[in-house]
Amino acid sequence: MNKSIDFGKSMDIIFIISSIVFNILVSFLYIATKFGNMELVRVIGIIVLFLIIPFTITLIGYIKEKDERKVIISLVVILFYFFLEILLDYILMIPFRDILALHIPYIIVFYAADFSMIGVTFDKNKKMGFVVLVAFFILLGCLIYRYVG
């Protein structure tokens, strides 16, 4: 069996699972925020940040496999989101969500990362692309629920 094919498929599986987990965890985070459970928000937020590990592993794997440039760039965008999140929430610890001039660029980076997850997944596996897309729509539904009512 070709080790290169196995390695590439392993990277794809790690990436896809991480993308699904990301969307589901952020969905839970929105629900916890709606109910004011800030301890749960903090725990979920930290768990989300640990996804930087599998996304970094897949970036390194895709670089080693000389994957397409759009895949590498998408991973860089995803990791940039994680570093931005760490910088704003855990290093600078500023209430950037209350500062429109900071929150809007943050939102743009967040959706660029999420769309990168969707795009790469569709590129790697069409069926799983739809699963990640559904997880993203769940995230959007939870975001809407957070602000409605």
pLDDT tens for each residue of 115-125: 999 999 999 99
Question: Domain range spanning residue 30?
Answer: 3-147
Q: Which of 134, 110, 139 is nearest to 121 (CA)?
A: 134
pTM, two decimals, is 0.94
What is the model's pLDDT at position 149? 66
Write the CB contacts of 95 (distance below 8 Å, at least 6 apart in sequence): none
Calculate the CA dihedral of residues 91, 141, 77, 127 and round it to 10 degrees: 140
**In this model, does residue 95 exceed pLDDT 80?**
yes
Region of residue 67 (phi > 0: left; psi between -120 and 50: alpha; otherwise: beta):
beta
How many structural domains does the chain have? 1
With cut-offs at 50, 70 and 90, classify the pLDDT of residue 43: very high
**In this model, does residue 54 exceed pLDDT 90?**
yes
**CB crowding 53-72: b at 16 or more within 10 Å, else e:** ebbeebbebbeeeebeeebe
Rg of the chain taking only CA atoms, in angstroms:
16
Average pLDDT estimate for 54-64 = 97
